Structure 1
Amino acid sequence: MKYDKTDVPSRYAQARKLPEETTKLWLETVSGYIPQGSIETIVDLGCGIGRFSKALADYFSAQIYGIDPSWKMLKEARGATLSTKVTFLRGSAEYIPLTDGLADLIFLSQVYHHIEDKKRAFSEIKRVLKTNGFLCIRTSTIENLNTILYLRFFPPALKKDMEFLSSRNDIIDTVHSSGFKLKGHEIVRQKFANNLEEYCEKIKSRALSDLVSITDEEFHDGFDRLETYCKEQNAEMDIIEELDFFIYTKVCLK
């Protein structure tokens, strides 16, 4: 998605902000596979507005390079992130503006499905990653779409996700064939919103890429149905959804 041609970046924080406990859950999930003290440099690839960048810097006491192709996203990221440990640069998965063997860990959050040339992207990731470095992928897959509440009310968005997203096995096979060894895979249940009112406000902002891709009429019809549903339910219920987490190591060729 070409975010610089839209006003989505200015709304993205509202739509994608995670509860603190959810951010902590993801940091702990990543660190569970990594030897303590082994991470000095992290690339937050496809960092968007930088919602994980500072958290990664603080949690791992690491230098972070946030890379994104969108000037507008990077502007939001720089405005929201005050840390000497975080540097934001324009680039993409296919063209990472960093030197060879720099990163101990490369982190992709909800980026995999946006990568147009995966062969080139994983070649670049291998170049920038240190020997025995880690590649972490946090992503939606076809298999967990049925846990995403709003998609029940937006059939056109669900259809686009089914066409656009990969299956778990597709991701495992694609990354493995690019020269990475799977170290672990988890299905992570995360809290996306604290209650239905907060959830509706996130969806109303229409900053999620599948909701941007449908027509205005389809969006308004779907949101009316979602809003009606939310008013009929227990407003204090946590909104839980599933995402997939994959962690790989760079294979060393002898």
Structure 2
Amino acid sequence: MRRIDYDTDQYREYARSRALTEQQLQAWLSAFEAALPARRPLTGLDVGSGTGRFTPALARAFGPVTGIEPSVRMREDAQMQSLPPGVRYLAGSAEDIPVQPGSADYVLMFLSWHHVQDKPGAIRELSRVLRPGGRLILRANFSDHHPRYWWLEHFPRGFEVDASLFQPLDEVVAMFTSAGWRVADFSTVTEPSSGTRGDMLERLRLRTGSFFAQLSSDEQAVGFRRLEQAVAADPDAPVPASAEPLLTLERP
């Protein structure tokens, strides 16, 4: 996929366009808890932490967390929050994680794997920073297990284009298992409704990267026109819950 520069304009609206409700956040924390050892505290890394929508919650639930984020603007936004003890943010990426070897019990990568340019290099770096038996919680979309978001159907080639941004599941698994990792779990997490369809439409207007960057201006115009017409019929209808894939991998 095209590289997205979050330091230009994406950072301005990212937090709102990707905001989670409390119910959504708790659903994800429950899924993460099931993937992690029962002991506490755990030392975690949130790689691709963005504006920090998960990092503080991870610290409160599991123990100290370092958010790793390459975008200067996104890190600045994250650091402006009221942070609980044990949270810090560092410049870095999946290919270059500035922490000591074997210093983390787990890594969360939430919708950031598809942005990684050097995936074999990232796997080597993840192997370096995790302790033996440490876990990578990979919330990634996969081309063959792609959620069918309700709004995609209104865009020309919507599902096809969105799914094409991601690797198939077996390809991702093979990259890790060939490096000695094992699959600890693959499951589907039901993410609760994010609110009304009217609100979701406004949030989608704030996204100019990822999926929308792959569409022509005509395709975007047609899609939003169709979506607006559909939402206008019942703007207060709730956004449907979605089934989201979650892959947990264990370092050798």
TM-score, normalised relative to structure 1: 0.91
The amino acid across from 1:119 in the alignment is P
For 1:1-254, what aligned pairs fall within 5 Å after superposition? 1-60=3-62, 62-145=63-146, 147-155=148-156, 158-233=159-234, 235-251=236-252
The amino acid across from 2:137 in the alignment is C
CA contact (8 A) 2:193 2:238 kept: no
**Shift in Å, 1:95:** 0.7
Query: Alpha-carbon deviations, 1:79-111, whole Å to 9, x = none?
Result: 134233111011010111111001001000001
CA contact (8 A) 1:3 1:72 kept: no
1:89 aligned counterpart, secondary structure: strand
CA gap 1:213/1:139 in 2 versus in 1, 3 angstroms: same
Structure with more of its chain in helix, by fraction: 1
Q: CA RMSD in A?
A: 1.9
CA contact (8 A) 2:181 2:251 kept: yes
User: Number of matched residues?
Assistant: 250
Query: Alpha-carbon deviations, 1:139-159, whole Å to 9, x = none?
Result: 222234452122212235544
TM-score, normalised relative to structure 2: 0.91
CA gap 1:32/1:162 in 2 versus in 1, 3 angstroms: closer
The amino acid across from 1:15 in the alignment is S
**Shift in Å, 1:213:** 3.9
1:183 aligned counterpart, secondary structure: strand
**Shift in Å, 1:249:** 1.3
Unmatched tracts of structure 1, length 5 or more: none
2:15 aligned counterpart, secondary structure: helix
**Shift in Å, 1:70:** 0.8
CA contact (8 A) 2:147 2:244 kept: no
CA contact (8 A) 1:15 1:207 kept: no
Distance of 1:22 and 1:131 partners within structure 2: 31
Distance of 1:81 and 1:152 partners within structure 2: 38
CA contact (8 A) 2:95 2:122 kept: yes
Unmatched tracts of structure 2, length 5 or more: none
**Shift in Å, 1:64:** 0.7
